[in-house]
Chains A and B, each alone.
Chain A
Amino acid sequence: MKILVVEDEPLIRIGLASLFEESGYSTLEASNADEAIRAIEHEPDVSVIVTDVDMPGSMDGVRLAHFVRDRWPPVKLIVISGKIGVSSTQLPPGARFFTKPCRDDVLLAAIRDLSAQGGPQ
């Protein structure tokens, strides 16, 4: 199972990727929404996207989530942010939202839970 980590701060991105890899998932990394979209286009087996909200580029994480939900409905979405004012009500249905800093076990439980559901939301 492949997880795409979208985060503009390299340290956080690498940390998240490392967490998922240690738990046995393969990962892809992107530093903004445009890179993320290109990555999914090339690697159609991405099943979960973990994305930050506040990123430079044409879309922020919230818009990326909606875009992915419209274009690749089976892909599961986890949105994380340290920003005040972002809430799960802005996200497409089925997407999970966590505030930074995230608990490792909570993130992993969410990925397990989402991948167990299977199919589009």
Chain B
Amino acid sequence: MSSAAEVRGPSKEADLKRAMQPLLKPKRRWQAADTVIAASATLIAIIAAVFVLLCIDGYNTRIDRAETRGQLAASTVAEGARWVISSALVVLDGMATFLEHDVANASARTLTQFESIVGAIPAQMELGIYDRSGNAIAGASSREVPASIAEEDYFAELARGASWSLGAQANSEGTGDPTFSVARRLATSDGTFTGAIIIAVDGSVLGRIAETLDLGPGSTVSIIRSDGWVIARRPPLPAPLDLSGTNAFKNLNAGEVGSYMSQTSPADGVSRIVSFRHVHDLGYVAVASIALDTVLADLWRGIWIVSLLLAPIAGALLIGSFMTARLLRRTESTSRSLAAALAHNQTLFQEIHHRVKNNLQSVTSLLQLQPIPAEVKTNMSQRIAAMSAVHEHIYRSGTFSTVYVRDYLRTLIENIRAGYDPKVTVVDQIEDVAVDKDAATPLGLIVNEVVSNSFKHAFADGRAGTVTVTLAAMDGGRAKLMIRDNGLGFDPSAPSKGIGRRLIRGFVAQLQGEAQTSADGTEFTLTFPLAKASA
């Protein structure tokens, strides 16, 4: 407590409480523990962010790769389908020539001729010959072709004048397997429509192409007529499918070639990367699609494995940082309570010191109130003050085992001088020697007695003079105190009235020192050990 405002107060306890308030109830502030948690949380966030970025990059790479692969596959399907359809058209041309463009020439021989031509073609093909009404010419047509194609759009197209047309997926009359038809118009030389020849191609022909592509599970290849009807698909569709009006159809017509992500296939609902290539001269689009699950399978596996590795590391990091933080918090809390205890002790110590000094003043007052001579009262108050001086010095210096005596003795001598005639001066030549704490009080009391005596008696006639106090360390761990005055002097062998000389003898014995007074009584010498002798 250093300011006057703190000195006064309603009570000592209130002082204590006020002094300790900030130590006992600290505000919530950023602590080392918070830094540990924040650092590990940041580290985990960074690891997670890098992981997510790598996943996104891996995803994009796989999608790109699937699109490239799909493009290649779509081109292969486009060419494969071209060969199949072109072959069918060549065969149809041959058959038209064989029939001399007249349905009336169709017979069982026609079928035999057809089979001899298509035998070398690596696709199952069936022949159908139809009159102008769309009815099959029995005997000249294969059993697998439909009896009538009057309702088919490709027949209508031929009737309208197209030289050839392409049918959408249909199902074989005999086996029920999916087929598609390539049809050719028959007409007289003046262009009158007389009928049609069709070749029903087994849809599984796409399977052969798909096998070589090896696009993986869930993948498809298909050819789709320009108007949106599916011509053939691998794996096969259970029923004919028209894509016109769907998002898939819009995406397929976005360019000559391309790829897009299909969230839901119109055929089976599977998510796929779809690549396509248009073949305009033959009127179809070749499509290859790879299932998203297939594309991303290894990515998911990689993410799963890395997560299995990272999750325990992140968990350990978090647990570790929380444990460290808890330890730090506990340490900080301990430090705070120690600091509070220290502050409490300091306050108590000050309070005790204050109380000791006040009590000594009370003792002085008690003596003052006794009916004893004023001189005795004064001497007693001097001795009490001298005892208190070392107490105060130890308190202020903060060192408790040894006491550096120069400031202490100077204060003491100054206090003695203040009570006497200002004509007498004091010269001190005091070395700052360190004495044992138990020696400080007797040393001070000896100085008090001797110097007070000099002031009191040596200049009693009012003369001016000097008291010289010398303290110096000697060899052998001892010190020498010398107090000399240039006053009246006295006979040290004469009997003493007061207790002064008796006290001096007692204090000298306590110091384990040796003292002597010069014959004229003007010089007092004391030698004493600086360190406490081990008794």
Q: Is A75's beta carbon under 8 Å from chain B? A: no
| Contacting residue for B4 out of A12, A14, A63, A105, CB 8 A | A63
Q: Which A residues are in CB contact (< 8 Å) with B378?
A: 103-105
Q: Is A95's beta carbon under 8 Å from chain B? A: no
Q: Is A59's beta carbon under 8 Å from chain B? A: yes
| Contacting residue for B354 out of A63, A83, A101, CB 8 A | A83
Stretch at the interface among B71-79, B356-364, B480-488: B356-364
Complex: chain B residue closest to A53, CB-CB = B7
How near does chain B come to A68, taking the closest CB pair, in angstroms?
Answer: 14
Dominant secondary structure at the B interface:
helix
User: Can you list 13 pairs linking A and B with CB atoms under 8 Å apart?
Assistant: A9-B358, A16-B365, A19-B368, A53-B7, A63-B8, A82-B354, A83-B1, A85-B350, A86-B4, A103-B382, A104-B364, A104-B368, A105-B382
CA distance A59 to B4 in the complex (A): 9
Q: Which A residues are in CB contact (< 8 Å) with B381?
A: 101-105
Q: Are B418 and A54 in contact (CB under 8 A)?
A: no
Q: Is B491's beta carbon under 8 Å from chain A? A: no
Q: Is B309's beta carbon under 8 Å from chain A? A: no
Q: Is B254's beta carbon under 8 Å from chain A? A: no
Q: Which B residues are in CB contact (< 8 Å) with A16?
A: 365, 368
Besides A82-B358, A101-B357, A103-B382, 4 other CB < 8 A contacts? A60-B8, A99-B392, A101-B384, A103-B378
Q: Is A46's beta carbon under 8 Å from chain B? A: no
CA distance A12 to B368 in the complex (A): 10
| Contacting residue for B8 out of A14, A54, A82, A102, CB 8 A | A54
Q: Are B362 and A9 in contact (CB under 8 A)?
A: yes
Q: Which A residues are in CB contact (< 8 Å) with B420?
A: 105, 109
Within 8 A of A (CB), among B408-438: 415-416, 418-420
CA distance A108 to B416 in the complex (A): 12
Q: Which A residues are in CB contact (< 8 Å) with B1?
A: 83-85
CA distance A14 to B374 in the complex (A): 16
Q: Are B419 and A12 in contact (CB under 8 A)?
A: no
Q: Which B residues are in CB contact (< 8 Å) with A12?
A: 358, 361-362, 365
Q: Is A1's beta carbon under 8 Å from chain B? A: no
Q: Is A15's beta carbon under 8 Å from chain B? A: yes
How near does chain B come to A84, taking the closest CB pair, in angstroms?
Answer: 5
Q: Is A56's beta carbon under 8 Å from chain B? A: yes
Interface bracket on A:
35 or more
Q: Which B residues are in CB contact (< 8 Å) with A104?
A: 364, 368, 377-378, 381-382, 419
A74-95 interface bits toward B, Cβ cutoff 8 Å, 1 = contact, 0 = none: 0000001011111000100000
A39-74 interface bits toward B, Cβ cutoff 8 Å, 1 = contact, 0 = none: 000000000000001111101101100000000000
Q: Known contacts A19-B368, A22-B374, A109-B418; is A100 also within 8 Å of B360 by CB?
A: yes
Residue from A18, A84, A85 whose CB has the most chain B CB atoms within 10 Å: A84
Within 8 A of B (CB), among A1-29: 9, 11-12, 14-16, 18-19, 22-23
Q: Is B10's beta carbon under 8 Å from chain A? A: yes
Q: Are B415 and A15 in contact (CB under 8 A)?
A: no
Q: Are A102 and B7 in contact (CB under 8 A)?
A: no
CA distance A90 to B8 in the complex (A): 14
CA distance A32 to B201 in the complex (A): 124
Complex: chain A residue closest to B356, CB-CB = A82
Q: Which A residues are in CB contact (< 8 Å) with B350?
A: 84-85
Q: Known contacts A104-B381, A109-B418; is A62 also within 8 Å of B4 by CB?
A: yes
Q: Are A100 and B365 in contact (CB under 8 A)?
A: no
Q: Is B21's beta carbon under 8 Å from chain A? A: no
Q: Is B395's beta carbon under 8 Å from chain A? A: yes
CA distance A54 to B3 in the complex (A): 12
Q: Which B residues are in CB contact (< 8 Å) with A9?
A: 358, 362
Q: Are A15 and B395 in contact (CB under 8 A)?
A: no
Complex: chain A residue closest to B355, CB-CB = A82
| Contacting residue for B357 out of A15, A19, A82, A103, CB 8 A | A82
Q: Are B358 and A84 in contact (CB under 8 A)?
A: no
The 8 A-B residue pairs whose C-beta atoms are closest, nearest first, are A15-B365, A105-B419, A82-B357, A60-B8, A101-B360, A62-B4, A100-B361, A104-B381
